[in-house]
Amino acid sequence: MRRRFGSALGRGGLSLWATCASVALITGCSSETTSGVPPLLASSGATPPPVAVAPTIAPNLTPITFRPGPDFAPITPPPVQPDLPDPPSLANPFQIGPVRSAFVTITLTGLRAPGVIRSVEVQFFNISRGTDITSIFLPTAIEQFRNTLIGRGNSYDDRINGITLTNGFTFPADLAAYNTNVAAGETVLVIVVIRDSFGQALRLEASAQAT
């Protein structure tokens, strides 16, 4: 009887020890292999929160108008003016002597032309009739008057004392043409334009009555 109980106890004890060992093994295994593993999600009937969606931006179809650039007009600088000397000048009045039959005498005193005289123009007018009477005077006399002045002005005497025509300069005229175009009491006007080598001009005018 004792042997049976001991035998049974021995078998039961072995079985119990095996069971306990098995439980201990399972428990130990669970503690080693499941550490750090997140718990499983539990399924539930709740509605998940909505996911935010970025708004859709409609394209801007308005045409872009580009502002035109500034239209700068080209600027032309003024021409450089050279430092010119003084223009021709006359120290004394320009005069016509007595206008007599078939000739006119002019008086020219103290003419200064620092830039040298380049050209001389002479015209005669009967201002009582409003006519140009230059053609009635001898062309050789007009040419001689021009040649007397052109090139003058650069000498020491011309610059210091000026140009003077001693006793004036007389312009003879064709007698018949003169008597046709000029009568006693009418006014004759003479215009002399003197230009220097820099293009500067001196305009001289004088008039007198014909006798």
Q: What is the pLDDT of residue 89?
A: 94
Sign of CA dihedral 36, 37, 38, 44: negative
Structure tokens at 14: 């072995």
How much is the mean pLDDT over the chain? 80
* Ordered domains of the chain (ranges, CATH): 89-209 (2.60.40.10)
* Each residue's pLDDT tens digit, 138-195: 999 999 999 999 999 988 899 889 999 988 999 999 999 999 999 999 999 999 999 9
Q: Which residues contact 177 (CB under 8 A, 6 or more apart)?
A: 135, 136
Query: For residue 69, is pLDDT > 50?
Result: yes
Q: Which residues contact 83 (CB under 8 A, 6 or more apart)?
A: none
- Please state the pTM of the whole predicted model: 0.61
Q: What is the pLDDT of residue 28?
A: 47
Confidence category of residue 114, pLDDT binned at 50, 70, 90: confident
Q: What is the pLDDT of residue 60?
A: 67
